Chains A and B, each alone.
Chain A
Amino acid sequence: MIGLSHYLVLSAALFSLGMLGLLTRRNAVVVLMSIELILNAANINLVAFSRYAAGNLGGQLFGVFVIVVAAAEVAVGLAIVLTLYRLRRTPNLDEADILKG
């Protein structure tokens, strides 16, 4: 019998993988992909709670808003990455230290 905790553990695994990507990868595009993993994990949680605990559609509506924000985030994030690449000829986040004092 698949219950709520199955979905929560799966979403925790997805979140932790995204976290690992954020912490260890240096390529800016892979970091954006890791953020997408984290947002997807949050969405699985919202939908699972909406089905198992709340019994209404509030979680699914939040899920739609999360997808909207993810789309906006990746558009702006990629714009910044491309501008950085044009400026520095590198997608490597470690070399983006212009603001470092």
Chain B
Amino acid sequence: MNAEAVVFWVLAIVTVGSAAVVVLSRTLIYSAFSLLFTFFGVAGLYVLLGADFLAATQLLVYVGGILVLLLFGVMLTHKIYDLDLKTGTTQLAPGLIVAGGLFIILAATAVRTQWAGVPKPPAPTTGEIGRLFLGEYLLPFEAASVLLLVALMGAALIVRRRRDA
């Protein structure tokens, strides 16, 4: 096993293991903190795939933004000191069957298909991504910025406490 394989398997175990804790843990705060390790693992996989800009974005946006937001969600809907806070599961057996079947189908397809192509040696991507965003992909880029603005304003409007309520 070369170094790439070792790193891949470590990252894969961290990512899938912590994702399993997120889904299966009955204590809400464990799920939230386990999600941190999932995001770190996925960022490591991006580095392994030669996507350095995307890995940095993953850390900044997911760990720095989305995870903090989810922790706020946990805190505002529960008492945070309530460590043995239990949240229920429902229909565990049918859910396991559906998700397991889906995994088997997807994994079998991925393994049995002959994928073409060999990877290129990794190169820095940030400059090229910036050029593409301000050139070929300018319209989606601007649309994404408008979407973010509208979504954040909408979120602020929804949670606002109404005066007359």
Cα A3 to Cα B129 in complex, Å, equals: 24
Residue A75 contacts which of B92, B125, B152 (CB distance < 8 angstroms)?
Answer: B152
Contact residues of B between 1 and 40, Cβ < 8 Å to A: 2, 4-5, 8, 12, 15-16, 19-20, 22-23, 28, 31-32, 35, 38-39
Count, A-B residue pairs, CB within 8 A: 232
What are 27 inter-chain pairs, A to B, with CB distance below 8 A?
A4-B115, A8-B106, A8-B107, A15-B106, A17-B16, A17-B19, A19-B98, A23-B99, A27-B87, A33-B35, A37-B22, A51-B51, A52-B117, A52-B118, A57-B132, A60-B53, A64-B133, A69-B147, A71-B61, A71-B65, A72-B148, A72-B151, A74-B69, A79-B159, A80-B158, A85-B77, A91-B77
Q: How many residues of A contact B (CB 8 A)?
A: 70
Q: Taking CB as reference atom, which chain A residue is nearest B8? A: A2
Contact residues of B between 53 and 71, Cβ < 8 Å to A: 53-54, 57-58, 61-62, 65-66, 69-70
Cβ contact within 8 Å between B73 and A67: no
Cβ contact within 8 Å between B19 and A18: yes
Q: How far is the CB of A89 from chain B (nearest CB, A)?
A: 9
B74 at the interface (CB under 8 A from A): yes
Interface residue ranges, B against A (CB under 8 Å): 2, 4-5, 8, 12, 15-16, 19-20, 22-23, 28, 31-32, 35, 38-39, 42, 45-46, 49-51, 53-54, 57-58, 61-62, 65-66, 69-70, 72-74, 76-78, 87-92, 94-96, 98-100, 102-103, 106-107, 110-111, 113, 115-120, 122, 125, 128-129, 132-133, 137, 140, 144, 147-148, 151-152, 154-156, 158-159
